[in-house]
Structure 1
Amino acid sequence: MLQLKNEQPLKPQPRAFRALVFHHAVFFLLLTHHCGGQPQMVSPSQPIVAVVGDDVMLPCHLEPAMDASEMTVEWTRPDLEPRFVHVWRSGVELENKKHPSYMRRTSLSPNRLKHGDISLTLPRVKLSDEGTYKCFVPTISRESTVELVVGAVSSLNISLARPENEEETSAVVLECESKGWYPEPEVLWLDGEGNLLSAGPTETVRGLDDLYTVSSRVTVEKRHSNSFTCRVQQNKTNQTRETEIHVPGRK
């Protein structure tokens, strides 16, 4: 019989004991496998783009899907204090935890939560809502981020600035102005065939409300068509506004 130094001889273990050890070993392996396969947080890699006044949803869900209706779900913005945008705990929203600017503005869907969809609904978006949001589920120690980009657009005013002595010149000046944009847009001029015209530098003014006013002037020769377009566009939000002007008496 095998005997270890300074130890009692090892005795054969009962079959029931060996079965119990085997059961625990199998349970440990299954538990390890289960923990390694915990649900992951899935959210879009591209920013969510919205215009002021839009209702938006910040997507985030568990994959594979599992019932999150009784879990704690926290939506936060790290740049705020307090940082909480929405807190869901044991089937109840904790309104008193939220940042004041999000009071009574955010929601989770109880029905979607049952299927692992923990997306946040944010109605009537404001410029101040722009930022990076974090979705966190403490139960599984998983988090994900969603970036929200908010823009503001406006209509355009375009006018014809005629020279003092029109008969003695072969050109006229067109002016275009637009207020209430965010982020800062760019201004483009096009002729009737869609060709880009060479214009002077765009004048940009940022107001106290953080909105931009842009204006631009372009000189066009009489040899051009009588139709011209001013286009204001934001590359970041893919928002575009344009208006057309017809210059009378031109060929």
Structure 2
Amino acid sequence: MKMRPFSVSKSSEGSSSLLGYTIIFISLLVHKLDSAHFSVIGPDHPITASVGDEVTLACRLSPSMSAENMEVRWFRGQFSSVVHLYREGKDQYAEQMSEYRGRTEFLKEGLADGRAALRIGNIRLSDSGLYKCFFRSEFSYQEAALELEVSVSGTNPLISIEGYQDGGIRMVCRSGGWYPEPQSLWKDLKGQPLPSLPAKYFRDENGLFQTESVLIVTENSNQNLTCTIRNNILNQEEVSSVYIADSFFPKVSHVTAILLSLNLLVWGFSIPLPIYYLWKQHKEKGADKLQAGVYLNDQIEETLPQIHIIHFWSCFLFVSEKYLSAFVLRKARRFAEDVTLDPETAHPELWVSEDLKSVNCAVITGEQPKDLDIVDSYRCVLGSERFNSGRHYWEVELKNKTMWHLGVCADSENRERYKNIAPEGGYWAIRLWNGEYKALSTPRTTITLEMKPTRVGIFLDYEAGELSFYNLCDDSHIYTFKYSFFGTLRPFFSPGIHGSKEDAPLTIFPV
């Protein structure tokens, strides 16, 4: 029997071809999907930058593949907080945050290999923080996080001698303009650290840190000193050196020896006399009336020396206090400021002179306010000068004014924040009102003065946290506020409520 040759029909051939194409298409799709899976790799350490510089934030795809047709997004926090966006082959700025506009540049040179980099210029403190680098293809998306640390190196340290403490010299090292908090360290000539008081840190209105470190130097300790302020992020430091000569160390002078001797004499006489007086009083307690007159006379004779000694001791302390106050005042005057008034801050019912040195109330016939602690109640004006560090001194002439307020206040665009005249409200001031002097502390402090001041000296030591007032009629100390100041302070003046043609203005007196 003869067999027929094998043959394939046309319909069978079509089915085989379709099956083959389907297998090839699925294979290509699986390969494409498999190749679409990727991860994003960023730097494994924080990126550091200085304020004002530029920085490049880089990340890449793994495995390496083209990202030219992908979406590449840099954002902070939320997905919508866009730092920079690349999509559809070009930069997109519609969604970019306003603070980054004009400061970013997307570097596209490495996109074919899956490398993306973003350059940010004019770095600010607010740029510090966490960033996300996000890639999205047609089939997948991934992101990586990276951290930017913004830092600032501050000024060269200023070393100053600020008196005597604990048998040695109090040395203070100050520097400003740092971010974040720097490391402050005193060292000897060999570079060995010296024990010092814990450093203090303050932030100014720009968010930068000021530092203050205190070292007590004794005659037997190191006299060659360096103060180092270091920024550990940028690995940068500023150094100042000083040498303390023997003549600066406290010595017991002839005057001091005499005062100490007088002190011992006072105590030597004042202690036995009361004891002797009590013993004699007890001994003569049983004397008859005839001896009463003699006994009283003896009492007076025994008491008089004691009265003289107490009087001498009081005078001694009074003179010492006066001398110390005058000494501090002379030191404060070395930091004299040419303070002027800012007419933009003056109450509408105040008159400010053309030279910006005097202020007075217009003639007002309204009633006196019930609340003397409200700023607008008694009308004020601020000084043009702004202080956020250092020491500053100015003088104000009062003449024969019957009411006034003087001091400093916190600077603020919103003056409503500082209505309450007290330290917690941003005011540190003293006043004369209805013949009574008060420090506007919490609670109020009544001040007793031996002499009515016609000129007052004001001394602000920002870092020490002290605002002192002095009566320049006798160079006596009036009052000192102690407070940890923050932010910017401005001189504060109020000439009172009611004005008259005869009423003298407050005048900033040239030092």
Aligned residue type for 2:155: S
Structure-2 change in CA distance of 1:200 and 1:225 (3 Å): closer
For the residue of structure 2 that corresponds to 1:60, the secondary structure is strand
Q: CA RMSD in A?
A: 2.7
Q: Does 1:47 align with 2:46?
A: yes
Higher strand fraction (1 or 2): 1
The Cα of 1:15 is off from its aligned counterpart by: 6.8
The Cα of 1:179 is off from its aligned counterpart by: 1.0
1:5 match: none
Q: Is the 8 A contact 1:189 1:229 kept in 2?
A: yes
Higher helix fraction (1 or 2): 2
TM-score, structure 2 normalization: 0.42
How far, CA to CA, are the matches of 2:222 and 2:13 in structure 1?
99
1:6 match: none
The Cα of 1:24 is off from its aligned counterpart by: 3.9
Structure-2 change in CA distance of 1:230 and 1:24 (3 Å): farther
Q: Does 1:102 align with 2:100?
A: yes
1:93 match: 91
Aligned residue type for 1:196: P
1:64 match: 63
For the residue of structure 1 that corresponds to 2:109, the secondary structure is helix
How far, CA to CA, are the matches of 1:15 and 1:244 in structure 2?
93
The Cα of 1:65 is off from its aligned counterpart by: 2.7
Q: Does 1:184 align with 2:185?
A: no
For the residue of structure 1 that corresponds to 2:99, the secondary structure is helix
Q: Tell me, which stretches of 5 or more residues in structure 2 are unaligned? A: 1-10, 247-511
Match of 1:129 among 120, 127, 150: 127
How far, CA to CA, are the matches of 1:78 and 1:180 in structure 2?
28
Structure-2 change in CA distance of 1:60 and 1:96 (3 Å): same
1:242 match: 238
Match of 1:227 among 224, 228, 235: 224
Aligned residue type for 2:136: P
1:3 match: none
The Cα of 1:68 is off from its aligned counterpart by: 2.1
Aligned residue type for 2:113: H
Q: Is the 8 A contact 1:78 1:133 kept in 2?
A: yes
**Mapping of 1:19-38 within 5 angstroms?**
20-21=18-19, 24-25=22-23, 28=26, 31-32=29-30, 34-37=32-35, 38=37
Aligned residue type for 1:145: A
1:9 match: none
Q: Is the 8 A contact 1:74 1:135 kept in 2?
A: yes
The Cα of 1:202 is off from its aligned counterpart by: 1.2
How far, CA to CA, are the matches of 1:226 and 1:22 in structure 2?
93
The Cα of 1:234 is off from its aligned counterpart by: 3.8
The Cα of 1:173 is off from its aligned counterpart by: 2.8
User: Residues 16-69 of structure 1: CA distance to partner in whole angstroms, max 9, x if unpaired?
Assistant: 645654664465456445534433211012111111112101111122333323
1:208 match: 205
The Cα of 1:209 is off from its aligned counterpart by: 1.8
Q: Does 1:194 align with 2:191?
A: yes
The Cα of 1:163 is off from its aligned counterpart by: 4.2
How far, CA to CA, are the matches of 2:240 and 2:192 in structure 1?
14
For the residue of structure 2 that corresponds to 1:128, the secondary structure is helix
For the residue of structure 1 that corresponds to 2:94, the secondary structure is helix
Aligned-pair identity (%): 29
Number of equivalences: 233
More displaced 10-residue stretch of structure 1: 133-142 or 19-28:
19-28
